[in-house]
Structure 1
Amino acid sequence: MLEEQLTIFLYTSVTGLSIRHVGECFQRLNGMISKYFKKILFAFSSRDIYSKYVRLPCSDAPIHPTIHNNPKFFPFFANTIGAIDRTHIACAPSSEERDAM
């Protein structure tokens, strides 16, 4: 059960699909997908995990070359100060969400 919840969280985070689409993929109700996602998100942001695994860089730390040299990323990350394990996860809203803005 925990493995499925983590899988749903990661799949949703990486693909950027809607809850409805993820629910169809995993054959779960939309409410369950939302519940699982929130549960894992809160676990990752809990004090125990956050304080152990998240290390904010120093203010003078250079921007990673993968982000700095890519015009797709750098304009949007010009003033940011890090991410979990220095990994950038590319995500974007769906076309329906972009049109709604």
Structure 2
Amino acid sequence: MGNNHLAPLPSVAYGVVLLAAAIAYWLLQRRIIAADGSESVLRHALGVDWKGKLSPVLYLAGIGATLVDARLGQALYALVALLWLIPDRRIEHELEH
């Protein structure tokens, strides 16, 4: 966001880029699962995938919140980043079995 730390438009644009990345991640998962078929190891490993579903929702909320206060929107973007710092061992655990 450069020199426009709390300007709403760059913060909204950043949120849109983050949302696009989350959608691309979801699409990639769906394509891999479709290619593997109904018995996909990835599908079984992902299960509910709460982080994958919650992230786009928080990005949308962040985009909306940025229009009210840029700091609030940026805090939501940071929250998603912190969620993804938590190690996710589902795929590793599934491959061991």
- Give the alignment's TM-score, normalised by structure 1: 0.27
- Give the alignment's TM-score, normalised by structure 2: 0.28
